[in-house]
Chains A and B, each alone.
Chain A
């Protein structure tokens, strides 16, 4: 943690860091199988993006992270509080309460989760710029200090402000880098694990699609999808994890004249790109109490 890091007082030699042969600190996702996929969990000091269409489980996983971050570091947590910045819909408080029952050792976990609404991308930048004062003495100061930041969702923040023309897209792109740069600076300064949620867009059927990461597109709910916000934003995150869902046919029933196909929802989390992870995936399940991975 480097709270004294002020651009005016630091000398170039201060940016030299000793490399210790210990892995980067991570925040457990709350399941050892999912943690194994991620080599320990969500890393601190960088941006991890969760991409998925609605209903895949990204909010569920984020909520579980808001809780697991509070676990002591000896159990894979960050011994910290969590901050949830959200741009859409009301906060899923009921679901959070349900998930918190899987963390019986936590004392008043809801008190250690701060939430704050975001109105626009510029608003996010302003909040990030003031994060130091907010964290140290303002609205976000808490005991223990905040160690996990979740932004839900980045795509929604950019949805209404920009038109689909070259000039607006260029401006939008400039803002991506501005936000990402500030976000990484603050993550580094306060040792935060940062999770940014992104949505998907349909891939127009083109054989010249641009491949970013371990594939060009994935199927989710029978749709060909890729992450929203394009190549520019992809350059702004360190790790991209993609969640998908599929309805799998598991049987057939005949009821009177009707043929009913029985299906099961299967969910997968896959690494699109990460500086420390190979191309790998894991199936996961969302139950009443937990989000957990399945052994292969």
Chain B
């Protein structure tokens, strides 16, 4: 009986995946290399150096997940777990305001019947739809991650969980390093299950370290070995000749490619450079 409930034809699987919806990053080039945007039901790890735009992307996704269905969005809510204190309300408001303006412009462009789909959300309404958890230690972080299953079953409209950043509190020395590995592994597993069970996107923002190999600096995601099995997708953000780029390092469905993006007053947007081209690897 159980087997029959779990099995699915490949056709059904494709239909399901296509209807799952994706969260736009507000940068079309970035959405393209992601296969349309951040996919729900999967864990995506996004890493890069300080200042490259990890938190910016995290906030942009927490706002964009709320875009109403009438505007092609998921009309969902976000959980934002801030482990470093980088989430600034004024920045989230700025990004929400820009999203709101973009929606109004789109609305006007389509000249839709005002009654049918009004932009009812005000910029500050976006803040109410972000469930913001601030944790200050690895124990608090694990406690909140363990609590998410209960919380999300009581808030079924949550469509994205963002952890900013996932490794900060684990990068200090532990007396028992094996414990650290177990804790990280356990957390990774929980997050994977959440993504699948509730069909939501889990975004893990991560820091990077450098490995000096072959006379060159190579960026590596922090505590990478503990995660590699848990993240379905991995994106690396980096600088290339004064421009910000995102590179798909791991994905089951899209090929490795890089795309430029920019961080503006309005949030994440397409690169302003003339030579913006998606680079296939």
Contacts and interface: CB of A to CB of B under 8 A. Distances in A.
Interface of A: 5, 7, 10, 12-13, 15-24, 39, 43, 45-47, 171, 173-175, 177-178, 181, 184-185, 187-189, 208, 210-214, 231-232, 234-235, 237-238, 240, 272-273, 275-276, 278
Contacts of B139: 7
B69 to A, nearest CB: 23
Interface string B50-62: 1100011000000
A49 to B, nearest CB: 10
Among A171, A208, A211, residue most surrounded by chain B Cβ atoms (within 10 Å): A211
A213 B172 contact: no
Interface band, chain B: 35 or more
Nearest to A189: B136
B127 A275 contact: no
A7 B140 contact: yes
A212 B85 contact: no
Nearest to A40: B90
Nearest to A45: B85
Given A177-B172, A235-B171, 9 more contacts: A15-B143, A21-B93, A45-B85, A188-B134, A213-B51, A231-B209, A237-B50, A238-B86, A272-B51
Interface string B188-228: 00000000000000000001111000011100001000000
Contacts of A43: 88
Contacts of A23: 88-90
Interface in B44-96: 49-51, 55-56, 84-93
A12 B55 contact: no
B210 A210 contact: yes
B84 A276 contact: no
Nearest to A233: B50
**8 nearest A-B pairs in the assembled complex, by CB-CB distance:** A273-B51, A12-B147, A174-B173, A185-B136, A213-B51, A178-B172, A276-B88, A177-B172
Given A21-B127, A22-B89, A181 B136 contact: yes
A188 B82 CA distance: 12
A208 B86 contact: no
Contact of A174 (B130, B143, B171): B171
B106 interface: no
